[in-house]
Amino acid sequence: MFLDATNEIESLPPEHKISSAVLCVRMEIYRAAKQWKLSEVVARELWKRHSDDPIHWNNLAWAVRRSDSIDSANSILLDAEKKFPDDAMTHFNLGCYACQLGDLEAAKIRVGRAIELDSSFKILALDDEDLEPLWDSWFG
């Protein structure tokens, strides 16, 4: 369905194809198709346009993690944290990255902060494979 979805977007008038709403859809299509570089290009454009919204920092980090590295993605989110110190998603993703980088104490602190800010992240933490190294300490 990747080609069908892409063809639908390509059939739009040029001014609509570059709208932020369509770019968000395009990014999700690339994400589902595991087209990491394309996802990063679109996420970076949305981040440039909407740097005042932490979701675009997180989406860019997500794409960069897959197209480049966790270290690069982590750097993006550390910058996002300075701008959005109370964004739960940013703390959660920094916790996931810390866990994957082997810093379990930092991961616990980050995920704990995300849960303090938004309790729905508690359920996400129980299911996110990036946090699997912490599960034994939580449930063991």
2 and 51 fall within a common domain: yes
Angstrom distance (rounded) from CA 140 to CA 23: 43
pTM: 0.89
Looking at residue 139, its pLDDT comes to 66
62 and 107 fall within a common domain: no
55 and 6 fall within a common domain: yes
Residue 53 domain boundaries: 1-68
Residue 132 half-sphere exposure toward CB, CA atoms < 13 A:
2
Question: Would 6 be classed as within a structural domain?
Answer: yes
2 and 45 fall within a common domain: yes
Query: How far, rounded to the nearest angstrom, does the alpha carbon of residue 57 sit from its chain's CA centroid?
Result: 7
Looking at residue 4, its pLDDT comes to 77
How far, in Å, are 10, 41, 93, 101, 113 from residue 98 at the CA level?
39, 25, 8, 5, 13
Digitized pLDDT (tens) for each residue of the chain, 140 residues in all = 667 777 788 788 888 889 999 999 999 999 999 999 999 999 999 999 999 999 999 999 999 999 999 999 999 999 999 999 999 999 999 999 999 999 999 999 999 999 999 999 999 999 999 999 998 887 66
Question: Would 79 be classed as within a structural domain?
Answer: no
User: How far apart are the two ends of the chain, measured CA to CA in Å?
Assistant: 41
60 and 119 fall within a common domain: no
Question: Into how many domains does the chain fold?
Answer: 2
Q: In sequence order, which residues have a C-beta less than 8 Å from that of residue 32 and are 6 or more positions away?
A: 2
34 and 96 fall within a common domain: no
20 and 46 fall within a common domain: yes
How far, in Å, are 26, 42, 127 from residue 9 at the CA level?
8, 14, 33
Question: Would 42 be classed as within a structural domain?
Answer: yes
Looking at residue 136, its pLDDT comes to 81
pLDDT tens digit sequence for 42-56: 999 999 999 999 999
